[in-house]
Chains A and B, each alone.
Chain A
Amino acid sequence: MTFAAHPVIELAGVSKLYGDVAALVEADLVVHRGEMLAVVGPSGSGKSTMLNIMGTLDLPSSGTVAIAGHAVDSLNDRELSALRAGTIGFVFQQFHLASGVSALDSVADGLLYSGRPRRERRRVAEAALRRVGLGHRLLHEPQQLSGGEKQRVAIARAVVGDPPLLLADEPTGALDSRSGAVVMELLHELHEAGTTVVVITHDRDIAASLPREVRLRDGRIEHDAGSPEPRALVRAGVAR
């Protein structure tokens, strides 16, 4: 018997309130495996809230969230952490690389909570760095790297465990346009290799360059263009 694959992200009626302020209102969103989309909107539109909820870093005030088929509200802290460790990779605007730590060790830390032995973590980390084109920068520390290189190290750390979902929060926000283009190029490559990529951005040009665009305004999804037909996905669904 053939079953349809669980979507990577499934938000249904998700709202998030901070006191009286609604950061996200009744959001419905389904992202299937292998998609690449932009969540775009001006600051204060609820993008970051949506990223935190999709990344299971925050829980919604109401509505349901399922990540790769796991209903987030039914998981405890340990299970949520394990879900993040195995399923979700994060890329942040500020890179979050510790000074004094080599690129190789930073990337290997991406697997620290996966239970794999250190030797293997470093080996896989080296492969991930080569994949983002930094094979020549393995032992460089953050202060020896350019902004674009730092973000590529951060991307390598996010994908080192081969997570099905990559969440990138303003990945080009701290970069000049050329470095930004290189980073976007890299995200496209990861998408082509099968990773589901969600880019949160305020940059309309970047959003427009992605296959699907989800526009947010004042906490509401205003526009969702490029969503694939569910029926098409059923045909592509995995057999169990």
Chain B
Amino acid sequence: MSTTQASLPAGRERPWAESPPPPRPRAARLSLSDVARVGGWGLRSRPMRVFLSALGIAIGIAAMIGVVGISTSSTNDLNKKLSALGTNLLTVAPGTTMNGSNAHLSKDAVAMIANRPEVISASATGTTDVKIYRNDHIPAVESGGLTVSAARTDLLRSIGGQIVDGRWLNGATSRFPAVVLGSETARSLGIHQAGPEVQVWLGNRWFTVVGLLAHNQLLPALDTQAFVGWQVAEKELSFDGYPTTVYTRAKDADVEKVHAVLGPTVSPEDPNEVNVSRPSDALAAKQATDSALSGLLVGLGGVALLVGGVGVANTMVISVLERRSEIGLRRSLGATRGQIRIQFLAEALLLSGLGGVGGVLLGIGVTGGYATYQGWAVLVPLWAMVGGLAATLVIGGLAGFYPAVRAARLPPTEALATN
């Protein structure tokens, strides 16, 4: 006797009792494409609801992708800038003395630094007390925050500056009343070209504008300065001859070492009275402050994703309630509990996957828009896109699990009775 043979009460004629039992029925598997089709079927019939609940997921993913994409694009842009500008520039400026007064760099600080073998070049500027004006009718107080600095003729090489018009100071022009304007200085004075006829009022006499500098990304402080020759400054502008900033290019491998020895080099007795800084670090630090905002946005994206997941769960619970008779019918057609479960799980996964794909596209769009506006190359890391999609599938699985289990547990008779 087999286990499938019914044990029926005796006393009734059952000529088939000795017949061999039929083989146990075996449930067939649903193919993957059938699972996807059955799961997608529920979505097709309710497009508006699908759109709205996928939208929640999409917004969350888009926020995440956008944050990652924008910060990646901006970091990429910064790195490109830094490698173009060089990270081997160090500046030396006088600090304050022990008693609080302003310290001086020594007059031969440039020579001392340039003597070190790790140093490629060194140059300096020295701030003068005079102001620069477009002409002699401007009241003296309206100096516009522009400063006039004495500059050594080899400054351009150390700061990596670019001339947009005219030329930099040379041995000849630095003895005469000639001036080179930083980009912001030129803009605020309304000067767009250099030439013998372009004159500015500087220290109570006319100076000829011989050159215009391009904007310096690494040293934006240079943009608001005007540069005159060291000799003419000492002779005509009562400049004391002390350098206020020394610009040093070190060999790339020795930047740290030079950073450490610059103070003792220019001021062996009081190395603490010297401030050494690396402008590329400041640029990178500005980037780091942006990442605090990124953290906030990622948090917001996470909340949006959570809300989206709850939306998907809600949609699925309603879907199961509405489709009780479909569940009953499928059970009567031979669907196992597992096949009902996987149908609704597939539906939830498709729903959130749809939101995920939409979110990734939206995130790429946001990144593209912002990066293009900033003039950056658009860069969305692949791991962010794959991660975003994977996250939505996890969310869909979690959100769909409970409704799917409920659908599978529904007794077929109860499901069919609802109509």
Residues of chain A touching chain B, judged by Cβ–Cβ distance below 8 Å, are 3-7, 10, 12-13, 28, 52, 55, 57-58, 64-66, 68-71, 74-75, 77-88, 90, 92, 94, 96, 98-101, 109-110, 112-118, 157, 230-231, 233-234, 237, 240
State which of B30, B336, B412 has its C-beta within 8 Å of the C-beta of A57.
Answer: B412
> Contacts A4-B15, A12-B9, A84-B334: A74 and B26 contacting too (C-beta < 8 A)?
no
Do the beta carbons of A71 and B29 come within 8 Å of each other?
no
Chain B, 50-65, contact with A by CB distance < 8 Å: what is the 0/1 string? Answer: 0000000000000000
Do A69 and B21 touch across chains, with their CB atoms under 8 A apart?
A: yes
CA distance A75 to B4 in the complex (A): 8
Check B27 against A79 for contact (C-beta < 8 Å).
yes
**Does B45 lie within 8 Å of A78, measured CB to CB?**
no
Seen from chain B, the residues whose Cβ lies within 8 Å of a Cβ on chain A are: 3-9, 12-13, 15-16, 18-22, 24-31, 33-34, 38, 41, 44-45, 325-326, 328-339, 411-413, 416, 419
In the complex, are the beta carbons of A64 and B6 less than 8 A apart? yes
CB distance from A149 to the nearest CB of B (A): 18
Contact A82 B334 (CB under 8 A): yes
Contacts of A28 on B, CB cut-off 8 Å? 12
Residues of B within 8 A of A75 (CB): 4, 24-25
For A80, list chain B residues within 8 Å (CB).
25
User: Does the CB pair A112–B336 fall under 8 Å?
Assistant: no
Please determine whether B19 and A113 come into contact, CB atoms closer than 8 angstroms.
no
Q: Which of B3, B25, B325, B326 contacts A86 (CB 8 A)?
A: B25
Interchain Cβ contacts within 8 Å, total number: 158
A101 to B44, CA, bound (A): 11
User: Are A70 and B334 interface neighbours, CB within 8 A?
Assistant: no
Partner of A110, one of B9, B28, B333: B333
Residues in chain A near residue B337, CB distance under 8 A: 77, 81
Cβ contacts A to B, 12 pairs, < 8 Å: A6-B16, A7-B16, A10-B6, A64-B6, A69-B21, A92-B329, A94-B325, A112-B335, A115-B29, A118-B34, A237-B15, A240-B19
| 16 further A-B pairs in the complex, CB-CB below 8 A; given A69-B4, A113-B330 | A12-B8, A55-B332, A74-B3, A78-B27, A78-B338, A79-B26, A81-B335, A84-B332, A85-B28, A85-B334, A96-B416, A109-B333, A113-B333, A113-B336, A234-B15, A237-B19
Known contacts: A66-B6, A240-B20. The answer to whether A113 contacts B335 by CB under 8 A is: yes
Closest chain A residue, CB of each to CB of B334: A85
Taken together as a complex, chains A and B put the C-alpha atoms of A71 and B5 apart, in Å, by 6
Q: From A5, A81, A83, A84, give the contact of B16 (CB < 8 A).
A: A5
Query: Contact at B332–A69, with CB atoms within 8 Å?
Result: no
Q: For the complex, what is the distance from the CA of A64 to the CA of B12, rounded to whole Å?
A: 14
Q: Are B413 and A112 touching (Cβ within 8 A)?
A: no
Nearest first, the 4 A-B pairs at minimum CB distance are: A85-B334, A115-B28, A82-B25, A3-B19
Most buried by A among B30, B326, B413: B413
A3 touches B34 (CB 8 A): no
| Bound complex: CA A230 to CA B44 (Å) | 52
Q: Which of B29, B325, B411, B412 is most buried by chain A, counting CB atoms within 10 A of its CB? A: B412
Residues of A within 8 A of B419 (CB): 94
Q: What B residues does A230 contact at CB under 8 A?
A: 13, 15
What is the chain A residue whose CB lies nearest that of B16?
A4
Nearest-Cβ distance from residue A9 to partner chain B, whole angstroms: 11
Closest chain B residue to A157, Cβ basis: B333
B13 touches A114 (CB 8 A): no
A90 contacts B332, CB within 8 Å?
yes
CB nearest neighbor in A for B417:
A48
Of A4, A74, A231, the residue contacting B19 (CB under 8 A) is A4
Contacts of A90 in B (CB 8 A): 332-333
Q: How far is the CA of A109 from the CA of B419 in the complex (A)?
A: 20
Which B residues lie within 8 Å of A234 (CB)?
15
B283 CB to nearest A CB, Å? 60
Q: Name the distance in Å between A26's Cβ and chain B's nearest Cβ.
A: 11
Bound CA span A70–B4, Å: 5
- In angstroms, Cα B91 to Cα A78, docked, is 78
- Inter-chain CA distance A100–B45, complex, in Å, is 8
A85 touches B411 (CB 8 A): no
CA distance in complex: A10, B17 (Å): 11
Most A-side CB within 10 Å, residue of B28, B30, B328: B28
A contact residues around B8 at 8 Å (CB): 10, 12, 64, 66
A113 B30 Cβ-Cβ under 8 A = yes
Which chain B residues border A68 with CB–CB below 8 Å? Answer: 22
Pick from A70, A99, A114: contact of B28, CB under 8 Å: A114
Instruction: Tell me whether A79 and B24 are in contact in the complex, defined as CB-CB below 8 angstroms, given that A65-B6, A71-B5 are known contacts.
Output: yes
- CB–CB A58/B28 < 8 A: no
Contact A57 B332 (CB under 8 A): yes
Task: State the CA gap A7–B22 with chains docked (Å).
Answer: 12
Give A59 Cβ to nearest chain B Cβ, in Å: 10
Assembly CA distance A98 to B413 (angstroms): 18
Report Cα–Cα, A114/B339, bound state, in Å.
12
* Partner pick for A3 among B4, B5, B20, B336, CB 8 A cutoff: B20
Q: Give A109 to B41 CA distance when docked, in angstroms.
A: 12
Q: How far is the CA of A71 from the CA of B45 in the complex (A)?
A: 39
Task: Find chain B residues with CB under 8 A from A157 CB.
Answer: 333
What is the CB-to-nearest-CB distance from B326 to chain A, in angstroms, rounded to a whole number?
Answer: 7
B residues in contact with A99, CB < 8 Å: 45
